[in-house]
Amino acid sequence: MGTAAAFAGLQARQLACRRGDRLLFRGVDFAVAAGEALFLRGPNGSGKTSLLRLIAGLLAPESGEVLWCGRDAHRLGAAFRAELAFLGHLDALKPQLTLRDNLAFWRALLGGTVEIEAVLAEVGLAASVDLPAQYLSAGQRRRFGLARLLLRPSRLWLLDEPTTALDTEGQAMVTALIGRHLAAGGIAVISSHDEIALPGSVLALGRGPKNEARL
């Protein structure tokens, strides 16, 4: 008999995360295939951001494992990091540089080849391309973060509150960007207090007596 093919996507098996002496969650299991989204839900402090950082390899789990296409994601190292794009809370902007120069820095760092002006236009920042980052509003800063996602093809998007500080039009843009990513076979894991009108499974992180997650 032949060997079963590895799952072509992102999986977690019995993940647990502890910060200091506090157990944030345990028993996290999920599987997200190409073209699918996983939405993280739970109150503040339930571990949504920590789970995203754990998937990205920025935190180590107390127990359990993250698998990418059937292999230990963190042992894959740079090969796994090349497949993902992470949008966190930090702006990742140098305030004295223009948007163009900031994005050029990230494009060089990530090895992207796309046109900077085209990416900024796609997130509604075409008119601000030569504006120093120190003058950006909170919404413009979030749009810049979204622009970084588009600098190179990435199969896995990890998004922490992608609609923060965005108006209704900006939230619709986020939904469209994620929808296009999924339609192209990408995977997205998203923590958001705002409703994002896309199909996907939901992972609930709670503060119950066992700190256990449930799909």
Q: What angle, 0 to 180 degrees and rounded to 10, lies between the N-to-C axes of helices 138-149 and 168-183?
A: 10
Helix (H) or strand (E) holding 33: strand 22-33
C-alpha 140/C-alpha 147 separation (Å) is: 10
C-alpha 95/C-alpha 21 separation (Å) is: 36
- Is residue 33 within 8 A of residue 5, CB to CB? The reply is no
C-alpha 190/C-alpha 158 separation (Å) is: 6
Q: Among 3, 58, 68, 57, which Cα is nearest to 34's? A: 68
Q: What is the pLDDT of residues 153-173, one digit of tens each?
A: 999 999 999 999 999 999 999
Q: What is the pLDDT of residues 94-145, one digit of tens each?
A: 999 999 999 999 999 999 999 999 999 999 999 999 999 999 999 999 999 9
pLDDT at 6: 76
Which residues share a beta bridge with 147?
none
Query: Which pLDDT band, with edges at 50, 70 and 90, does 147 fall under?
Result: very high
pLDDT at 4: 52
- Is residue 144 within 8 A of residue 93, CB to CB? The reply is yes
Query: Which pLDDT band, with edges at 50, 70 and 90, does 206 fall under?
Result: confident
Sheet-wide strand order for 71-72: 22-33, 9-19, 63-68, 71-72
Strands 63-68 and 9-19, how do they pair? antiparallel
Q: Among 152, 175, 105, which Cα is nearest to 133's? A: 105
Q: Among 169, 168, 198, 170, which Cα is nearest to 182's? A: 198
What share of the chain has pLDDT > 70, as a percent?
A: 93
Complete domains list, the chain, with CATH:
8-83+155-162+185-215 (3.40.50.300)
